[in-house]
Structure 1
């Protein structure tokens, strides 16, 4: 019988509670507090993760204030702040240097801040767990922002045969291609509009789908039959893109799987303990967590 982690009740916050925050604009869609706070309680950790709404023009001020607060141990970062967050750390991982973005910052023992990016690792791990191994696959990726750049690097590292990345910001797109080509030469092509021809896996790594009236990031009706259509948006779980793709007979892969794939990586990075059991799924925790 598969065991899942359920909330263990409200954990009391005291003067000794260690703080973690997730920054975004917007921030109402984030799922990480519903995932991690029940785990903190189960593990007996005196810690809490809270969402913080930071508009782009105030991001640096917000981050610097959090970094100066002595009881803040970690910062999670979501759309649209991942590229900017990479520049607000004292040290950066090789993945951050390649992608130019970060989704997690931790306070080091010396007080400095170290940046990492787990989006790509989590996305690929979620794909593999769902039976969609990208090795030797042709992939189309829409969006070259913080999450998209991390996913691009992780897909190439996972052995995709060809990666087509599109983004209307051509300067950002070409900068990403230059960084990717330095590690995986000749396997990436870029365009301003979606290039899904021949792709077996097509990924939306843009915010399109967060709001009900958003346009589609690409046309699923133009894909060859039986493709895998993935979205990194976690709320709503079923975006318009995934709904229409499923109606056309494509295989769909929802955004919560990316968070599933990051749980153990976050545990190791921040030193959360004990280890997350392999049977625990982030989607199960989120669905069981209180609203």
Structure 2
């Protein structure tokens, strides 16, 4: 990769940032597609996010940003406009800087997550799903699962009020064919159980789902990417369940990230003409 004065820069907003795996996939893909762009991790504390977002509006070499924990909902509120389901859910994980400095956000987490399941032959139509967590990534995944045809979806979260708020937002999607509920992180009777929290990222974290309730025949999926095999996934595999690592969600988003921020209408080489 050659970086020069015309390179379009994207920043990956996170806190912490040491675990990020997207730049390692994004940058080689830009090389393969002959796009003059680079994605750089940026660790930004929540208290400084608004100031950072405002600064990005004035950086003319900046094409956009990818957003991860814990910034997805706050970034959505700081965007000038949201596209697609991001507008309804008020959550974003990718931002495009327009020529006038305004910021447009979308959410691709759900699309990537469902794509990762389908690549592994996991059917979703008519199935049931448990999602543990009620943050931005959980919300996006839930919306995508509803669109993919699940008929029952439970949200479990440490703070029940936050889970209730998430279910209320999902109802705004207008899908009356899905039974939405708030409950415990008990996977009994569910086809799919998803950890959409950061639990498992650090040594000593509690399991987000009780291991003794995982049974053969169900699928257990992660959003945590490091370690690749979290304690939850190891417990699930030991009990005969199918497992899907967190990296599957990111792999399915790389080209959509590039297309949204650096699409043909905004060729990266045109961002910084002499």
- 1:109-258 aligned at under 5 Å gives the runs 109-182=99-172, 183-185=174-176, 187-191=179-183, 193-258=184-249
Report the RMSD for the aligned CA atoms in angstroms: 1.5
Instruction: Report the alpha carbon displacement of residue 272 of structure 1 after superposing the two structures with TM.
Output: 4.4
Aligned residue number for residue 39 of structure 1: 29
Structure 2: state its 5+ residue gaps: 265-274
Give CA-to-partner distance per residue, 1:85-111, whole Å, 9 cap, x none: 101100012311332211000012443
Shift of 1:41: 2.3
Deviations 1:29-53 (A, max 9, x none): 1111101111222333221110000
Cα distance in 1 between the residues matched to 2:31 and 2:153: 41
> What's the CA shift for 1:171?
3.0
1:170 and 1:59 mapped to 2: Cα distance? Answer: 27
| TM-score, scaled to structure 2 | 0.91
The answer for the alignment partner of 2:272 in structure 1 is none
Seen in structure 2, the aligned counterparts of structure 1 residues 134 and 62 have a Cα distance that, compared at 3 Å, is same
Q: Tell whether 2:37 aligns with 1:55.
A: no
How far did residue 224 of structure 1 move? 3.3
Secondary structure of the structure 2 residue equivalent to 1:87: helix
Which ranges of 4 or more aligned residues in structure 1 deviate by more than 3 Å? none
Count of matched residue positions in the alignment of Structure 1 and Structure 2? 262
Structure 2 CA distance, aligned partners of 1:44 and 1:181? 42
In 2, are the aligned partners of 1:221 and 1:245 still within 8 Å (CA)?
A: no
Q: Which runs of 5+ in 1 are unaligned?
A: 1-10, 274-291
Aligned pair partner of 1:65 in 32, 44, 55: 55
8 Å Cα contact 1:226-1:249 kept in structure 2: yes
Deviation at 1:14, TM superposition (A): 2.1
